[in-house]
Structure 1
Amino acid sequence: MRLLLVEDDLPLAEALTTLLAGSGHAVDCVNDGLAAEALLIAEQFELVILDLNLPGLDGLSLLRRIRARTPSPAVMILTARGSAEERVRGLDLGADDYMSKPFDVREFEARVRSLLRRQAGLRSSVVRLGGLTLDLTTRQFRAEEVDLDLPPRERALLELFFLRAGKVVTKEAIVQSLTSLDDLLSDNAIEQYVSRLRRRIAPYDLSLRTARGLGYLLEKPVEPG
């Protein structure tokens, strides 16, 4: 999934970017509110992790502008301003979650996973389709209790198809979800990844169909009875 980190503490921003990218997310990071707003206008994100004390445009003002647009991403406030009044204000303005610094990294990762599940319309951390199971906590695919060994980009792409199963996923949506501004993903590369995934998932009663001129569709298996 594609995330935007808005944090002006550069060492913390670098550490969180490394942490989130290591979990398989595409992460863009900016250090001031105006740059974040410009990026949000131009690009699409599933989740924004937002500091409040920002140069250019403060975090709460940015949050108001995010919520004025539709659709808008999930927003987690991550800030040193942790009083009850600040929390209430941030949540009332539309934040989906609020964490105070300093924080436990494990809790931070769990909250990110929870927000991404909610953004995808999922209640459970486990998604089952055909003979494959996706555990969103570990971001691992399994078949009959055996982990499916996938390269990172193919795993991220299959996860995207799982979360949007039964819906057409355009090439533009694939690029938006799987790449940051520093990444490149050509149409030819996407086609190669899809071709490999087709072969990998075929034994598990799953198929990726090309919707000509639109994108790709992971077809849900028909339930018996």
Structure 2
Amino acid sequence: MESSIAPFRIDIPQADLDDLRDRLLRTRWPDELPGADWDYGVALPYLRDLVGYWADGYDWRAQEARFNGFPQFSTVIDGQRVHFLHVRSPEPDATPLIITHGWPSTVGDFLDIIGPLTDPRAHGGDPADAFHVVAPSVPGFGFSGPTRDRGRGTRRTGAPHRGRAQAGREERGVVVRALRLRHPDEHPAADRRLRAQRLTGRPTRLEPGVVRRP
């Protein structure tokens, strides 16, 4: 049974952030062979610097505020809680577009492009290229989860996105590919992306103006 769509706001309790910092600072570091560097895994000096940055350099509240600057929602699809950004364009005839992140990644990858996609006029572009953007967190990532069952592969993950123009950032675009192959007439953006990928042998980005209405 599908649930209603509810507004969502990120608000991590300060006690959780304090606990995380405390655990990071109490890390028990292993020894490392002299000169091993990256030969046996992550180099210890690099990891120490990274953990130090997480503990005392990374500003989670700033990132949280940035996410909360976009309309966010949550719902349940196929028994799975799904978190997503839904940013409507000021252009009334904008094309609906779903952008999907990869494994592992988050919708945070898209925060810099949502503005140009939804309001190209304000960014020096053609308003005819505007999109209504939906950016879901893939089940098991970000705030979509935790997953409660097995079998959430590319086809099942992509099924709720059927009928929308789609662009994918996954390393191989596997969710986008599954949608295009199963529903070719409903995903022109995925179609153009995959054609370019076949020609070049490399994953491609969806360029402005790719999707046009018939």
TM-score, normalising length: structure 2: 0.31
* Structure (1/2) with the larger strand percentage: 1
TM-score, normalising length: structure 1: 0.30
